[in-house]
Every structure is written in C-alpha cells, then in structure tokens.
A and B are shown apart, each in its own frame.
Chain A
Amino acid sequence: MENAIEVTVKLFAQYREGHFKAEPRVYPKGTTVEGVIIETGIPVEQFPIGVIMINGRHMDESYVIEHGDTVSLFPKVGGG
C-alpha cells in the first residue's frame, strides 16, 4: 500500500485490557493520533485520555503520525 505507514502503538494501564501492550500497526498517510485512538478501539469514554507521547515527546490528538513513530497512549489517572 503506497499510502500506508507503519508505526508502533504502545498502550498503558487500562488501555491494555482486551487490547495489547505494544504492536506494530499500519495506517493511511495523514492519520492523526485521534485516528489511531479510534482504530485501536481503546475505551476513551470509560478511561479518558491523559498523556499522548510520540517518540517520547508530549503531543496532542491532532498530531499527524509519520512512518516509524512510536505512539504511546496513557489514560488519565487522577485518584487519591
């Protein structure tokens, strides 16, 4: 697929349940982090997004992923 890029998606905490810890995944060029979140099907309604990191740097959902990126997703953790 010419327009396809491969990234590594890493999931943390509750996002791993029923999903995976880390996986290589293929997306169309131009996909945003928001698109990755939707495609993985992680339950962001139940566990809202806290931190998004791309290659160890903090980014937001609008970031357009690039081939070779590592996308790390953490749920918001706020309990005391």
Chain B
Amino acid sequence: MEAKSYLRQCSRADGMLTLKDQRSTAAKFSLSMHKVEALALELGILPLRHQRNQHTLSLKQQRKLFESHVAIIGCGGLGGHVAEILTRIGTGRLSLFDFDHFEEHNLNRQNFSTLASLGKNKVTVVKEALEQINPSVRIEGFVHRFNPLSDMSMISNCTVVIDALDNPEIKVQLAKACKTKNKSFVHGAIAGMHGQFSTNNTLEKLYPEGGRGAELYSGNPAFTVTLAASILAAETVKSILGIGEVLENSFMVTDLLHNEFETLPL
C-alpha cells in the first residue's frame, strides 16, 4: 500500500490525523514527519495538532503556511519566541541565525533559556526545543553572525525574513537587502515597555543614525518581548497568506505602559 492510501485509512472521520498515526506512517514508509504532513495536507487531511487553528486558518491556508520558509535573524528575545509561535502554527521550514550563547541575563525573557541551557549556543538549544514541539517543521540552525551585506544567499529560499536583531545598523542593512532581493521583511524592535514594528519597508526613517536605542537603559522585560514576538508572527503569517493588512508603508508603536497601539505613515 502506498503512503497516501495508508494516510486516507488512518485519518479520522473528522478529517484529522493524530500524531500517533503520523508517526506510524513515517515509520512504515521511511518518510520524514515533514513529508508525511505534506502528503496529508495535499490529501485534505489536517494533523490534529492544527485543530484549534481552524477556522482562523483554512486547510488550504494551513498548507500554504506549511509550504513556506521563514528566516529568523537573531534567536534572542524576539527570535526565540517568534520561532516557537511559527513552529506551533505550522510553518513548514525555519532557518535560524544567531552567533551567541545563553547567559544569565537572558533568563528574564529569552525563550528556552533555562539553567540547563546557560552557556549553550542559542540556535542549537532553540532548534532542539522546537523539534520537540513539532517534528514536522524542517529547521536549519546556523551558529553564525548574519551579515546582510554578504549572507543573503544563505536565505535565498526563504519566503519571509524576520528582523529579530538587536542592532539598528544591521537592521537597516537587512531591510535594504530584503528590498533588493524582493523578499518580505518583518521588522520589530523593543525597549522597556515599548515596541516598534513595520513590514516590507526599509528602515532609514526609523533609524536615521546608527547606535543603540532606548533599550540600552530601559532593557527588555518579558511581556514586551512576547507581545512583540506575537506581532512579528502575525505579520509573517499575514504576509505569507496574503490576508488582512500588514504594516506596509507604515510603522506601529506599542506602549504597554499606557495601553496604546498607534499606526503611523512611514
């Protein structure tokens, strides 16, 4: 019996595929979990893990998301959380970049920073943790300081590039490189209880000069980081699916101190 027929037999009356059956299909036909999910979605069978994504996402949209490839540049505060959200929602492929390792001062906010992961490369830790959450996602990890001036070929297959960097100068370079390469680009930055977001725009107007911003004094508390990661993930999913409105030709500032979200022209 071929894998597709087997999957049809396995799928429940409600058109869902359990993790157990996904695993058994993978084992029986020597396929990766990624390949089994691709076949299932092609057949209109939805892995049960995505049940609560319905009907915010249709099966067709779930499939489109699964066929997408997102690069996350930086796996610190923003990157670690956005990587988890995109893994849980069913993005098919992720490329993670970060040169750094976990340190004690990351524990206040960075996803997957634990006592056990201190001293370990962020990318390696995040990749392993994501594979525990959803083994169907193909994850490539690069322990590498991404340089937008020379490394764009490393993300040539990516649909969307997420700016989870902490350096305004590199953020500007990355935005520019994505514009040149015609890639969707999702920008986010935080400082204290405040965030800033923009999609598919270059960033010169937000960063007229290099150098660090307000975060140097105000730091990055956990609730700002997780809110920002949620906005980045939502902008990414909307970009991939072509739904709703993204922050094109505009930027949004968030202020958790005064409960304000404001979108302004860019």
Contacts and interface: CB of A to CB of B under 8 A. Distances in A.
B71 interface: no
Given A48-B211, A80-B76, A75 B189 contact: no
A16 B214 CA distance: 13
A48 B213 contact: yes
A79 B166 CA distance: 5
B192 A14 contact: yes
Range for the number of chain A residues in contact with chain B: 20 to 34
Interface in A7-44: 12-14, 16, 21
B215 A77 contact: yes
B138 interface: no
A75 B191 contact: yes
Nearest to A57: B265
Interface residues of B, number: 43
Q: Which of A50, A57, A78, A79 has the most CB of B within 10 A?
A: A79
Nearest to B212: A78
Contacts of B190: 77, 79-80
A77 B166 contact: no
Interface in B185-221: 188-192, 194-196, 205-209, 211-215, 217-220
B258 interface: yes
